[in-house]
Amino acid sequence: MDRYPFSADEPAMQFQFRSMNRNENRGTTLFLAYAVEVLLRLPAFILVELFFRYKNMKFEELTETMINQTSFANTSYVDMAAILDFIHRRNYDHSASLILSNSVLVLSGLLLMLPTHRVMRLYAHFISLCLFAFSWYMSISYVRLEQSLNEVVQFDELKKLERPGFHFLAQILLGVMQSFLLRIEQESYRFALPAFALPIFVRMFGAELKHLMTVHNGCCGFVMVCICMYVLNCVPHMCQAMRILMLQLRAAFTIRGVVGGFLSIWRRLKVSQLLSFAWLVMFLCEAYVEMHTKKRDWIELGQIILSSMANCTKTPVSLLALSLTVSYISKWITNLAQLFLGGPREHVHVIEYAGYTEGIVMIVMSWYSGVLDAEMGRRSLLIGIIHFNVLSALQSSMLELLEPNFLALVSFPLPRTRHVRCLSFAIFLASSSAFLAYAIPFFIQLELWCAILIANCLLTTVRTVSLTLRYTVSTIESRRVEPWNNADSVMYGIGLSTNGVELLIALIVLVFGLHETFVGRWNWVSLAVLFGHAIVNVYKRLHRLIATVYSRKVALQSISHLPKATASHISAKNDVCAICFSEMSDEAVITPCKHIFHTACLRKWLAVKQVCPLCYSQVRSPMNQPVEAASSSSEMPPNSGLNQMPEGGLHHRRGSVAPPDPPSARQHHSIDSARDMWPLVPDGLYDGSDSDSNSESIDPRSEYSVANSEFTDLE
């Protein structure tokens, strides 16, 4: 028996598994590096936020706040009161505030702009300074302990080495950690790191206690000199790094332009992720303080969330961070919704631009309502109101995500689980939008913005119901064995009802806005919004509704003047409908150009264009001349039904009758229209047919003039 029965495929399988594991490990590594970079740059946002919060505060108020709120301000090691008293007595308040502000900005800029490895080096130097401070603390503790004990140094027993041995080992470990962090290669600098171990050696050699403090002070001076020498050696490297950074910034703005360079730097530094993560950290800290410090119950969870959000949104930087956080959360919700609905992600434009609308709504509404200038209670209320607008925009995005999935269900044979998921999502979306429209008046005072918000929620509900009904009709039509001739009428009724309800909602909002204006509760912004609403949501919807009804009426009139195809004619042709590609039934009509279509299919086509779908010949006959029924045995001459076409397009005005166009002009127009429809037709294929025709009598009408002629009659 063969030891490896699948030995032929085993190398390929091993390579595939190895590549999959490599890709997974690489993705995990990239994610960890991404998270570490954001964490390292997090203090930059905290420093900028503190700068904007306290930039208008006087130095005396700031120092008083620091003394009252900082727990280590008056300890024996950090005597903040003495430091501030020194600043006040010498009138250094203004200078200290300038130095502090500029230091905060410079440090935040370094944390934000420097590359990741240099940011890590900056943190390493900061940790090394903290280790030096801890070494100083261990040294002064040893000196004071020896002075308090006042014992004779005599190491005749092993236990007497415990105290100096412990302090010496601690100093050595601190020096090793500093050498590892700073990556010091020169031995002279390495010997200088455990400098605070010198008082231990001096005491072990039998020095008097009064000399220990002098040795400790000398160690402090020696460490300061070493730090100065190290900084002076690092200054050229820092200047070179800053020069390279400036060259990179200049190259980015030169190559990509101002906007492109700014966006490139924004993406490279991951500012959006940094701001969102920093705001979430601040929010969680505020929520923890509200829950545990103030001893609030879980019943007040809504108030806790709003108050925490208000405390975290006090500056323009934190407002931008909140908007970016809302944008990311909206994008995650959209991705989860698409994952629930299923279907391809690469063809859904809503996924690509998800979250932008919600973020823009958040920042614009916050600026308009004055969130940053409001008091704490009003700020919490305003943030809650703005989130209603964000939810409304998110529901509109969900509707845009649901529509292509419904169309895919009708067009392709998909499993029943997809149908169930889409229908359940539609029910959830419609019910949540209706509930939001019902709940908004209980939280917000009824004014123009509130009316527009309620109207948006109702529009989402109406469109979701309309989309579900259209999906139902299309599904029933696709499952039927015989064609459903009334499906087009049902779909037209659903669309007309939807447009009518949308127009009614827009008119109600317009009337309410006019009432608010006449009462006196208005400003220029609300007046501009009302004017835009009247143009976009009322006039255009009314125009679209009239155009839909008019095009339907014209299509019905055109169909009524066309002869119906008999059973013998259909059997003689033995063809399918060129629109739906299904077999011909009794409900079929004949166009003047002798093409046969289903009545319902041609009616939908004529609602868009009054031409034949195959040859682009004019289909509609004059209203005052009835069309004779075509015989199934006799052949009609080509283009015989086009000789009565009036001048001015399809929808001629009453009383205007023009002479018929010559056959060459009609043929030229049909060929041009067909060439627009099928670009693969050669340009010189029909040049010979037009050579003998009179150029002055040719009046070609493009498909755009035919399609837009109904709007000309409306005007």
Q: pLDDT by residue (tens digit) across 468-526?
A: 998 888 888 777 777 676 777 888 888 888 888 888 888 888 888 887 777 766 667 77
* 654 pLDDT tier (thresholds 50, 70, 90): very low
Task: Please compute the mean of the pLDDT values over residues 524-538 and round it to a whole number.
Answer: 76
For 22-31, 117-126, 468-477, 508-517, which range has the lowest pLDDT when averaged over its residues?
22-31
Closest CA to 661 of 626, 687, 693: 693
Q: What is the pLDDT of residue 675?
A: 40
CA-to-CA separations, 71 to 65, 66, 295, 627, in angstroms, rounded: 11, 9, 21, 97
Computed over every residue of the chain, the mean pLDDT equals 74
Higher pLDDT, 674 or 164: 164
- Name every residue whose Cβ is closer than 8 Å to that of residue 448 and which is 6 or more positions away in sequence: 512, 513, 516, 522, 526, 529, 530
With b for 16 or more beta-carbon neighbours within 10 A and e for fewer, the 453-469 pattern comes to bbbbbbbbbbbbbbbbb
| Tens digits of residue pLDDT in 141-152 | 888 888 888 777
Does 640 have pLDDT greater than 70? no
Give the CA angle between residues 13, 14, 15 to the nearest 5°: 90
* 60 vs 664 pLDDT, higher one: 60
Least confident of 3-12, 103-112, 560-569, 577-586: 3-12
At residue 429, the pLDDT reads: 92
> Judging by beta carbons within 10 Å of its beta carbon (0-12, 13-18, 19+), is residue 234 exposed, middle or buried?
middle
User: Domain extents for the chain?
Assistant: 271-479, 561-714
Backbone angles phi, psi at 211, to 5 degrees: -90, -10
Q: Give the per-residue pLDDT at 465.
A: 92
Buried b (16+ CB within 10 A) or exposed e, 55-87: eeeebeebbeeeeeeeeebeeeeeeeeeebeeb
Query: Tell me, what's the pLDDT at 94?
Result: 60
CATH number of the domain located at residue range(s) 561-714 in this protein? 3.30.40.10
453 or 687, which is more confident: 453
Q: What is the pLDDT of residue 427?
A: 93
Q: Is the pLDDT of residue 541 over 70?
A: yes
Higher pLDDT, 215 or 353: 215
The confidence score (pLDDT) of residue 248 equals 85
CA distance 712 to 268: 52
Query: pLDDT band for position 461 (50/70/90)?
Result: very high
C-beta of residue 397 within 8 angstroms of C-beta of residue 350: yes
Kindly report the three-state secondary structure assignment for every residue of 53-107: HHCCCCHHHHHHHHHHHCCCCECCCCEHHHHHHHHHHCCCHHHHHHHHHHHHHHH
Most confidently modeled range among 163-177, 184-198, 443-457? 163-177
Beta bridge partners of 618: 611
Strands 588-590 and 596-598: antiparallel
- Cα distances (Å, whole numbers) of residue 433 to 407, 427, 463: 22, 10, 11
Looking only at Cα atoms, what is the longest distance across the chain?
A: 135
Closest CA to 438 of 462, 452, 458, 424: 458
pLDDT at residue number 212? 86
Of the pLDDT bands very low, low, confident and very high (cuts 50, 70, 90), residue 428 is: very high
H or E element, residue 309: helix 301-311
pLDDT of residue 108: 81
Can you give the pLDDT at residue 371?
85
Task: Determine how many CB atoms are found less than 10 A away from the CB of residue 24.
Answer: 10
pLDDT band at 589 (very low <50, low <70, confident <90, very high): confident
Cα(132)–Cα(228) distance, rounded to whole angstroms? 14
> Quick one: pLDDT band at residue 89, thresholds 50, 70, 90?
low
Instruction: Work out the pLDDT band at 18, boundaries 50, 70, 90.
Output: low
Name the nearest CA neighbour of 281 among 33, 44, 34: 44
The rounded percent of the chain whose pLDDT value lies above 90 is: 5
CA distance 407 to 467: 10
Of the listed ranges 291-305, 394-408, 527-541, 642-656, the one predicted with least confidence: 642-656
pLDDT of residue 689: 37
**In the predicted structure, residue 70 carries a pLDDT above the cut 60:** no
Instruction: List the structure tokens of 172.
Output: 């050595």
Residue 644 confidence (pLDDT) above 60:
no
Q: Tell me: the pLDDT tens digits for 177-213?
A: 988 888 887 777 777 888 888 888 888 887 788 888 8
* Separation CA 174–CA 135 (nearest Å): 7
Reported as a pLDDT band with limits 50, 70 and 90, residue 14 is low
Share of the chain above pLDDT 70, in %: 73
Burial of 661 by CB count in 10 Å (0-12 exposed, 13-18 middle, 19+ buried)? Answer: buried
Distance, CA of 539 to CA of 541 (rounded, Å): 6
CA distance 109 to 103: 10
